Amino acid sequence: MKILGIDTSTMTGALAIVDGDELIAELRTNVAVTYSERIMLHVDGLLKSARMTLADLDGFAVGIGPGSFTGLRIGLATVKGLAYGTGKPVAAVGTLDAIADNLPLCAYQVCTALDARKEMVYAALYQDEVAGRRTLMPPSALTLEELAGYITEPTVFVGDGAKVYRDKLRERLGDLAIFAPRVYGYPTGAAVALRGHRDIESGNAADPFTLAPLYIRPPDAKEPKCKSNFPL
């Protein structure tokens, strides 16, 4: 089963095509221009590099967040359009789950953390066990103090939140805080595609019509209230 995975939840865009558990092609790029201007060019380029067309794919997977509000909307709109246009299934993949996949079979518990601004993070906590990965804390929006309260044993932090708040986390947690190399701090297209493959194959595809971003908290920007002299 060939799956195209797309993640636009962070400033590092990621796309990949997998066939089962084999990686066929992958692209990662730092976003200097908006996703809306480049994403379909990247999809087309990735397919060409794999000598494939949309007709060769069996489904799609997309990172649903948390992450950049604008990036998430663009990624989901793109995958929804591809799913509607081809009639092929789509899977929803949590961004924090995909980042944790960069550290498989880790001996320590893993905390994925994305910068949510204002000294807050989007974070989740995982532990790899013989039976598989267990989620100790689901994706949440937390202050650094709240996050530190969940950490009682050595923990590997990964994600741009770990980069931004490294010193403050070390201050609060001391030697309990271990930091993964920054290169592992972003979701890969391969991780998104592999998770999507598993979901679609097991019958857990998402409904493209109701598929929505996982924001966790509302955006800071608010729509202005309508001012009118006329009663509604």
pLDDT > 50? residue 230: no
Model confidence band, residue 29 (pLDDT cutoffs 50, 70, 90): confident
The span from the CA of 196 to the CA of 61, in Å, is: 5
Q: How far apart are the first and last CA of the chain?
A: 53
Name residues whose C-beta falls within 8 Å of residue 98's C-beta, 6 or more positions apart in sequence. 7, 63, 187, 188, 191, 192, 195
3-class DSSP string for the chain: CEEEEEECCCCEEEEEEEECCEEEEEEEEECCCCHHHHHHHHHHHHHHHCCCCHHHCCEEEEEEECCCHHHHHHHHHHHHHHHHHHCCCEEEEEHHHHHHCCCCCCCCEEEEEEEEECCEEEEEEEEEECCEEEEEEEEEEEEHHHHHHHCCCCEEEECHHHHHCHHHHHHHHHHHEEECCHHHCCCCHHHHHHHHHHHHHCCCCECCCCCCCCCCCCCCCCCCCCCCCCCC
For residues 178-202, average pLDDT: 96
Residue 198 has pLDDT above 80, yes or no: yes
- Give ranges for CATH 3.30.420.40 in the chain: 2-95+186-201, 103-184
- Res 214 pLDDT > 60: yes
- pLDDT on residue 223: 46
Residue 39's pLDDT is what? 87
| Least confident range of 70-74, 133-137, 143-147, 169-173 | 70-74
Instruction: Give CATH for domain 2-95+186-201.
Output: 3.30.420.40
Q: Is the peptide bond before 66 cis (omega within 30 degrees of 0)?
A: yes
Q: Please write the tens of the pLDDT for every residue from 42-90.
A: 999 999 999 999 999 999 999 999 998 888 999 999 999 999 999 999 9
How large is the average pLDDT for residues 143-171? Answer: 97
Is it the case that residue 231 has pLDDT exceeding 50? no
- To the nearest whole percent, how much of the chain has pLDDT over 90? 79
Which pLDDT band, with edges at 50, 70 and 90, does 146 fall under?
very high
The CA distance from 18 to 14, in Å, is 13
pTM attached to this predicted model: 0.89
Q: Which CATH number fits domain 103-184: 3.40.640.10, 3.90.79.10, 3.30.420.40, 3.40.50.300?
A: 3.30.420.40
pLDDT score for 98: 97
Whole-number average pLDDT of the chain: 91
